[in-house]
Chains A and B, each alone.
Chain A
Amino acid sequence: MQEMDTATQALDGVKVADFTWAIAGPITTQMLAFHGARVVKIESIMRPDGQRTWGPFRDNIPGINRTAAFTKYNANKYGITLNLNHPKAAGVVRKLIGWADVVAENFTPGTMANWGLSYEDLIRIKPDIVMISMSARGQTGPLAQLPGIGPNLAGMSGLAGLCGWPDNGPSFIYGAYTDFLVPHFAIVTLVAALDNRRTTGKGQYIDLSQLACAIQFNTPLLLDYAMNGRDMSLKGNKCDHAAPHQIYRCRGQDRWCAIAVFDDTQWRALCNVIGAPGWLEDPRFDTLPSRKRNEDELDRLVEAWTVKFAPEEIVPLLQAAGVPAGTAIVGQEFFDDPQLKHRAHFSWLDHPEIGQQSYESPGFRLSGTPGLYYSPAPCLGQHNEYVYTELLGMPDEEFCELLNEGVFQ
């Protein structure tokens, strides 16, 4: 493990026993680690984090320590292995809980309890522990046992039904959508609970429902149904109070830019940039309602212009004129985007098995305690010796004995 930067970070001194796996949980604890918390990630050789098993692998060579699917979400963490099913694991885990301020997990409800690690169990070891569980639908209720993965939670919450064209049915809402919104709800609650503990001395159990988090992202539509009986509909790229409002084809292979015009000022600016002053007097387009009525024709005309240029040629012109516009970035553009570069969104760390690998900053920057990545995601069990003997103070003989008995598998 690289040494932590000596600058003060927001969560200095916070200690986290991290049982999370997959995406939403690891992003949560990674954000804590980014801001200075010490996070020990617990895996087992028999049951490593599933993210380790699929790619993209460095050089296309599969390997448990070689995938960005794992590294991206686990920087700054110590990695240990522990076979929780081993009879001698209980004593080890007791030490770990005694060390920790926070226990985080996102298993199917009941999994932690089966290992003797329910909140009730934990407070017997550490009365002021803050524990967070992040399951699909919370710990209780008839569907609590339903396994939750991002695409399914996007489906259950209604978010998946919002992506696509009106005449096709929904398009796949890319990725594991809800996995990226859940961590922020988790962080707000968890860090507020830690702060609360500083003043009251009391711990907390947080039973987070990933579905309930996701529903915060479409609440107005749910109220619309409940109050007006109107269900959501796919709108393609159209927006009720803007036109043109479309993703337009640009010059080149699969290149696109967004243009959104909400008012007459922006409309005039767009016409000036395009060099089509005639459109300003055209009765088909002179007001927002007329532009909405003739939107398809308008889209064809605008696209006849955009298609002549690469997005990076016209987006700066449109923006300089005050028209909301943007390139639909892909591939190398993630790394070349001037604004993302300016914010140092990507940073690179040298991983022992796969070398330089990118890590991504959160969407916010703190002016006083900026946070940073300083250590790449751990190889499986990489920090066993350090964590068990140094952090938890286990005598060397005991460590060797337990190692030989397979407790750390």
Chain B
Amino acid sequence: MEKQATSNGLLNGFRVLDLTDDTGWLCGKVLGDLGADVIKIEPPGGDRARASGPFYQDAIDPEKSLHWFAFNANKRGITLSIETHRGKELFNQLVSGADCVIESFQPGYLDGLGLGYSSLRCLNPRIIVTSITPFGQSGPYRDYQGSDLAVMAMGGYTALCGEPGQRPVRISFPQACLMASVEAGAGTIIARYARGTIGCGQHVDVSMQESVLWYTFLAPQLWELDKVIPQRGGPCQQVSSRAFRRMYWRCRDGFVVFGILGGGFGSRYVAPLVKWMDEDGMAPDHLKAINWSTLDISKLSTEDLRRIEEPIARFFMQHSKEELVRGSMKRRLLLCALSTCQDVVEDSDLRDRRFWQEVPHNELGRNISYPGGFATLSGAACKISRRAPTIGEHNADIYAEIGLGSEDLSNLRQAGVV
């Protein structure tokens, strides 16, 4: 079996030992997309988070988690109990030949095993250790329990979403771990670049809370400058202290995303909508009378905005998502579908660009279509080259590299090390 996930990747030869659970899976996956040699190290029996769904054909099975598949593609997999004496020895041997360790244990856990950054750097000064935790490696919340719900709240995001005056609402699919994982990827590769200059690795300390904070956009600065706290607006977005504009609109078969704009953007992106509505006899006079290029929506009240939005809402309800998107493309409106999974999977542009990638899953007797690379490179690949590993799939290959034969492996298996 070929060593690298991708043979012409920018990160070919960069070996990553991935100890993370679902908190950090995406980090190694992104590095793998660019050709890094990522080895997922699971405890014997498999990563606990393999128990999280959704599952292939809804079969609850650690080898059929679509959650696992999605974020562990492009990795090879071994099992190893790093809590056993022999397991530590083997891990240290692997670290000697690796460039990077990614981990998402509670702060101090690896130090307690003698496998923290301060120990690993003595073994291999070039090693980069990337730690992904809810709040970071030090500080008053270092030992706090994280969960997506708590971390999104403590990162300031949750308070910004929900219906006006009501309970804040989260994003239904955990995001904080993904936000932190891609920060971790960026930190790791910056540390790798630095290694080329300074000759040694470093510790990359990622905080999920801090990663979330960026998504609050200007909320901290709105407080800093104006002592304003953005208010939740349901499907609407606050545009001034007194007004909300609608962003999500019902149409015949779902929702579309569109917002009233004034000034240059208004004449460019909203005026053509009014013209389109007029062609269908659905633009009332008060809408046609608006001079979009001089309209300043921050001066409008919510009632003013409702008067503008009401006929638009009626127009959208006459059409399907597809009709609205097509019509908007022709007129270059800033409108798009609020996509369902079906819409994304069937998106004709992504299909035409051959975005989806068929990846063989021989153990399931079929291919599964995955989202492809996030970038196209002139002289390198960014893609999925292998499916996520089954439990211990590459034990023989990887342990052979450090001199273990099949007999050694079966001994280790009996001892519960692999």
Contacts and interface: CB of A to CB of B under 8 A. Distances in A.
B150 A260 contact: yes
Contacts of A161: 255, 338-340
A149 interface: yes
A222 B34 contact: no
Residue among A156, A203, A259, A260 with max Cβ neighbours from chain B (10 Å): A156
A72 B221 contact: yes
Interface string B135-153: 1101111001111111111
Interface residues of A, number: 151
Contacts of A235: 172
B172 to A, nearest CB: 4
A169 B190 contact: no
A273 to B, nearest CB: 13
Contacts of B100: none
Interface stretch (A91-99, A176-184, A384-392): A176-184
B311 interface: no
Contacts of A254: 229
A112 interface: no
A75 to B, nearest CB: 13
B54 A228 contact: yes
Given A205-B378, A258-B150, A326-B150, A225 B342 contact: yes
Contacts of A58: 225
B160 A207 contact: no
Interface string A318-358: 01001111111111111101111011011000000000011
Given A8-B197, A185-B182, A205-B378, A247 B210 contact: no
B257 A142 contact: no
Given A184-B185, A191-B193, A339-B140, A175 B210 contact: no
A31 B186 contact: yes
A247 B157 CA distance: 12
Given A220-B54, A334-B219, A212 B190 contact: no
A345 B210 contact: yes
Given A171-B234, A232-B340, A328-B168, A188 B248 contact: no
Given A56-B221, A160-B257, A339 B141 contact: yes
B286 interface: no
A324 B147 contact: yes
A343 B207 contact: yes
Interface stretch (B312-320, B343-351, B398-406): B343-351
At the interface, is chain A mostly helix, strand, loop or mixed? mixed
Interface string A195-209: 110100011111111
At the interface, is chain B mostly helix, strand, loop or mixed? mixed
A302 B277 CA distance: 50
Contacts of B88: none
A17 interface: no
B39 interface: no
Contacts of B196: 195, 198
Nearest to A59: B225
A194 interface: yes
A143 B329 contact: yes
A158 B54 contact: no
B70 A194 contact: no
B18 interface: no
B215 A180 contact: yes
Interface in A352-391: 357-358, 360-369
A338 B139 contact: yes
Contact of A364 (B54, B198, B204, B372): B204
Interface string B212-235: 011111111111111111101111
